[in-house]
Amino acid sequence: MKIVTTLFLVICVTGCMSYSVQTFGTFDSTQKTITVPAGGKSLNGKIKNMLRSEGWRLLVDRGPRVTEGQLGEETKLQEYDSFNSRYRLALSYHWIDISLRFQDIYSHDISLIDNETGAEVITLSGEGEEDVIVEKLRAAIRQNTK
């Protein structure tokens, strides 16, 4: 009976956790600036603390909204956001439960985007414990920094 109970607990703890990391490029270690969402609560705060500890300079505001184009008979204007950082963090998550280790479990979708090219560098998505999400993101960033 102990074996069945132990097996059940192991499945409960690890069975609902899933982490998918995809890498599409590398980070330039000489330009470690990143625009992050405002706030410091829960997963957002832990990711920001991790980035800071890894030597990233964090910015909360994007650059100015830019409008450019030609005035004349056929006026054509284009608007776009600008950024004062090389990279930006797009983060979506919601709380699901608490694990048996008393860790918050989140469904998460995280993208790190290169503002110079507009390309995603890393994505991390799935469901899992807050600390594991942060460590998987840290490992992916370290492996993809040149």
Percent of the chain with pLDDT over 90: 72
- Find the CATH number of the domain harbouring 118: 3.30.160
Range of the domain at 137: 17-143
**Interacting residues of 114 by C-beta distance below 8 A, sequence separation 6+:** 25, 86, 87, 120, 121
Q: What is the pLDDT of residues 123-140, one digit of tens each?
A: 999 999 999 999 999 999
Q: What is the model's pLDDT at position 135? A: 98
Task: Tell me the C-alpha to C-alpha distance, in Å, between residue 56 and each of 7, 16, 130.
Answer: 41, 32, 20
Per the structure, the count of domains in the chain is 1
**Interacting residues of 100 by C-beta distance below 8 A, sequence separation 6+:** 9, 12, 13
| 95 domain residue, yes or no | yes
| Distance (Å, whole) CA 144 – CA 29 | 10
Q: What is the pLDDT of residues 55-90, one digit of tens each?
A: 999 999 776 777 778 777 888 777 767 789 999 999
| 94 domain residue, yes or no | yes
Q: Is the pLDDT of residue 4 over 60?
A: no
| 3 domain residue, yes or no | no
pTM over 0.85, yes/no: no
| 79 domain residue, yes or no | yes
| 103 domain residue, yes or no | yes
Q: What is the pLDDT of residues 24-66, one digit of tens each?
A: 999 999 999 999 999 999 999 999 999 999 999 999 977 677 7
| 11 domain residue, yes or no | no
| 4 domain residue, yes or no | no
| 27 domain residue, yes or no | yes
